[in-house]
Chains A and B, each alone.
Chain A
């Protein structure tokens, strides 16, 4: 007897929701919404939230939470600008940005596993700490580095670059999403992440290195936030310590809409990506239709609660 996994229902539901939202806006804005260039815009706009959400999926499946990713993204952007300003190579700046994110994640992981303080509190603290460090490094202003190819990661493709189909930053996001999905499903590490989120005591009893895995989860989350910071930098072309406020909440929303449970053990990368796309489509559509910002906020909020409520209802029915 082969049962259809519950997660399949969930993913189908998300795809349907995404299509419905897309169709609604296409009907409202038939000229501009269902176009290739708009799709590309959607992809570019989703990339930043999607990257952070990938890391956040690991964290939430692990039964944790990472509130510091917005600050970490800003910190990474500042680090990149700071390195470029000193005329090091863009490649080094790129590495530096991701590394800055990973170090911030390591800090979270260390505090959570060593001090045994809950991830909500730890990352609430480091959210402030990392934002503070970023602001300090930037001397409370934006850093304006010289131009480099890093500025084009998420740029609109020129006429001679159409063969790329999508900007390099979007491709990077897609590749990383595939890798993340595979690792959650097929690697020992991925299984251990789920096991800890599902039942930490059982995992510990079975000899899963709970501390090491948890630490790595936050390092990954930090590194993804670092990548998001890189993309932000690419779009803004400056290192601004005040950006990405609230990015962590967008990411959590994407992961949760994607079917993850905040109590851990549950969640999928594909769901998360769909969640991020739904939010980005909603936002882009709403602004193109001309809805005010406050209306958009209300709509997004309603969608988040509705998505989780529907998910709960569905689970109850399937049992």
Chain B
């Protein structure tokens, strides 16, 4: 079978850096093709070239045998390449029907043919197995998973032959992930050429027919997924083995530093009790919406406490976020871009946010202290004055963690600390967590990715519908038992 989409000898340089060097990629119709690689491997550059956001310096692209040279992303869409990014392109205020047909509405004298439009959208959604949505409701009232579907439906409705899904599951719940898999399989059986980018190896096994691995802008290889092991994929990606991925030193938890009794907030959680010890990592598993993030936010004073007791060290009772920082507690937001970091400010500004002295700030001093953290955590950047927004996801997350370490907190609450960052950076974050635990800090970590919880935590508790289960030692649980508890089976 010849590939419908062919990219041959693609090369791209940014100044002196070679981002891509002679990369080939081919995707056939009716195939799910996984594109794998760490951040900085050239994956996103390749996808931006495919989408038409940037031009390649060398190489050729063809679609169905025809030359394909998009001038901009809209051009690429028109030619039949639909790109579905992590940050969705949805106009939240518009109803589903208008969102799906945005930019290709059929109209007579400028007036949209409403009935016809709804029929088209219904048909597109039906092909994805999703007929039951109320098309007149503004998209922003739906959860992320549905908005993502709307965007995939847009690709179907516009007649795209190539559909690129860029880490589509990174912020979905387990149940939504299954639904997305069904949709992807429908796309495949409908004859679309699907390019699937993901950091989750289990997803690749489940969905992909072939995979292409990039490393440092070079093509490592393309191979069929049949009989490929995780070991092989990781080795191809990072050039080293998987067992080194989750470092867990022998830890010695000491005294209780955070004691929570029957904590309830106004929305969630409904009932959470646990003790967190110095020198341990306590993981919280559960489905999205089960109230895991709300638990952290309530503890941190971002959401109000309805009832229950919180004892943090010698401090008793509720407190504002400012007080929590002062009491030695830090929160890493799951929403790095909007809540966690000020993307327009420098690394130094972000790291020293919570520790600025009263009165005059000395820029030289904050740069100097930030420089130490940049070196200790291995943040890849040009210096403390670089804008955080210019860093890769993994390095941004390191900055967010550096803020807590610089503040000198005793309790680190990490909400999805590795969301949307590549395997190599994840490893760096795991090592940081391990080091922090070894140095006597207490870590409370929320994650939707079970292997990561099992790999890094000492104990794991499962949140289900606002109620936190009893924390259990990591040796006593596995993926299956955790998932059972999360879904209430």
Chain B residue with Cβ nearest A191:
B98
A198 to B102, CA, bound (A): 12
Residues of B within 8 A of A189 (CB): 110
Say which residue of A188, A194, A207 sits within 8 Å of B91 (CB atoms).
A194
Known: A194-B94, A207-B104, A208-B102. 4 other contacts (CB 8 A): A183-B110, A188-B111, A188-B112, A265-B94
A–B pairs, 14, beta carbons within 8 Å: A3-B137, A186-B112, A188-B112, A191-B102, A191-B112, A202-B88, A202-B91, A204-B74, A205-B73, A206-B103, A206-B104, A206-B154, A207-B74, A207-B104
Q: CB of B78 within 8 A of chain A?
A: yes
1/0 per position for A196-240, CB-CB distance to B under 8 A? 011101111111100000000000000000000000000000000
* Smallest CB separation, B414 vs chain A (Å): 27
A70 to B403, CA, bound (A): 49
Q: Would you call B93 and A188 a contact (CB within 8 A)? A: no
- When A3-B141, A187-B111, A208-B102 are in contact, do A202 and B74 touch as well, CB less than 8 Å? no
* Smallest CB separation, A218 vs chain B (Å): 18
Q: CB of B328 within 8 A of chain A?
A: no
Q: Interface range on chain A: under 10, 10 to 19, 20 to 34, or 35 or more? A: 20 to 34
Main secondary structure of the interface of A (DSSP, over half): helix
Q: Which residue, B78, B88, B98, B103, has most C-beta atoms of chain A within 10 A? A: B103
* Smallest CB separation, B478 vs chain A (Å): 37
Say which residue of A187, A198, A207, A266 sits within 8 Å of B107 (CB atoms).
A187
Residues of B within 8 A of A197 (CB): 93
A2 to B111, CA, bound (A): 25
Residues of B within 8 A of A256 (CB): none
* Smallest CB separation, B154 vs chain A (Å): 7
- When A202-B102, A206-B104, A208-B103 are in contact, do A266 and B93 touch as well, CB less than 8 Å? yes
Q: CB of B13 within 8 A of chain A?
A: no
Q: CB of B487 within 8 A of chain A?
A: no
Q: Which residue, A191, A204, A208, has most C-beta atoms of chain B within 10 A? A: A191
A289 to B415, CA, bound (A): 58
A188 to B108, CA, bound (A): 9
Q: CB of A195 within 8 A of chain B?
A: yes
Q: Which residue, A1, A2, A207, A265, has most C-beta atoms of chain B within 10 A? A: A207
Say which residue of B89, B111, B112, B114 sits within 8 Å of A202 (CB atoms).
B89
A197 to B103, CA, bound (A): 14
A192 to B134, CA, bound (A): 21
Binding site for B on A (CB under 8 A): 1-3, 5, 183, 186-189, 191-192, 194-195, 197-199, 201-208, 265-266
1/0 per position for B41-70, CB-CB distance to A under 8 A? 000000000000000000000000000000
Q: CB of B292 within 8 A of chain A?
A: no
Q: Would you call B89 and A1 a contact (CB within 8 A)? A: no
Say which residue of B92, B102, B114, B141 sits within 8 Å of A206 (CB atoms).
B102
Q: Would you call B110 and A188 a contact (CB within 8 A)? A: yes
Say which residue of B102, B107, B111, B141 sits within 8 Å of A195 (CB atoms).
B102
Q: CB of B260 within 8 A of chain A?
A: no
Q: Would you call B90 and A186 a contact (CB within 8 A)? A: no
Residues of A within 8 A of B110 (CB): 183, 187-189
Residues of B within 8 A of A202 (CB): 88-91, 102
A199 to B111, CA, bound (A): 22
* Smallest CB separation, B76 vs chain A (Å): 9
Q: Would you call B103 and A203 a contact (CB within 8 A)? A: yes
Residues of A within 8 A of B73 (CB): 204-205
* Smallest CB separation, A58 vs chain B (Å): 14
Q: Would you call A265 and B74 a contact (CB within 8 A)? A: no
Residues of A within 8 A of B89 (CB): 199, 201-202, 205-206
* Smallest CB separation, B70 vs chain A (Å): 12
A1 to B110, CA, bound (A): 31
Q: CB of B203 within 8 A of chain A?
A: no
Residues of B within 8 A of A194 (CB): 91, 93-94, 98
Q: Would you call B93 and A205 a contact (CB within 8 A)? A: no
* Smallest CB separation, A83 vs chain B (Å): 31
* Smallest CB separation, A306 vs chain B (Å): 24
* Smallest CB separation, A196 vs chain B (Å): 8
1/0 per position for B449-489, CB-CB distance to A under 8 A? 00000000000000000000000000000000000000000
A201 to B103, CA, bound (A): 12
Residues of B within 8 A of A265 (CB): 91-94
A189 to B105, CA, bound (A): 10
* Smallest CB separation, B303 vs chain A (Å): 13
Residues of A within 8 A of B154 (CB): 206
* Smallest CB separation, B151 vs chain A (Å): 9
Residues of A within 8 A of B107 (CB): 187-188
Residues of B within 8 A of A198 (CB): 91-94
Q: Would you call B93 and A186 a contact (CB within 8 A)? A: no
* Smallest CB separation, B116 vs chain A (Å): 13
Q: Would you call A203 and B112 a contact (CB within 8 A)? A: no
A28 to B468, CA, bound (A): 59
Q: CB of B336 within 8 A of chain A?
A: no
Q: CB of B77 within 8 A of chain A?
A: yes
Chain B residue with Cβ nearest A209:
B103
Q: Which residue, A1, A188, A266, has most C-beta atoms of chain B within 10 A? A: A188
* Smallest CB separation, A158 vs chain B (Å): 39
Residues of A within 8 A of B102 (CB): 191-192, 195, 202-203, 206, 208
Residues of B within 8 A of A206 (CB): 74, 77, 89, 102-104, 154
Q: Would you call A195 and B91 a contact (CB within 8 A)? A: yes
The 8 closest A-B pairs by CB, nearest first: A206-B103, A265-B93, A202-B89, A198-B91, A207-B103, A198-B93, A195-B91, A206-B102
Q: Which residue, B94, B107, B154, has most C-beta atoms of chain A within 10 A? A: B94
Residues of A within 8 A of B112 (CB): 186-188, 191
Residues of B within 8 A of A207 (CB): 74, 77-78, 103-104
Q: Would you call B77 and A205 a contact (CB within 8 A)? A: yes
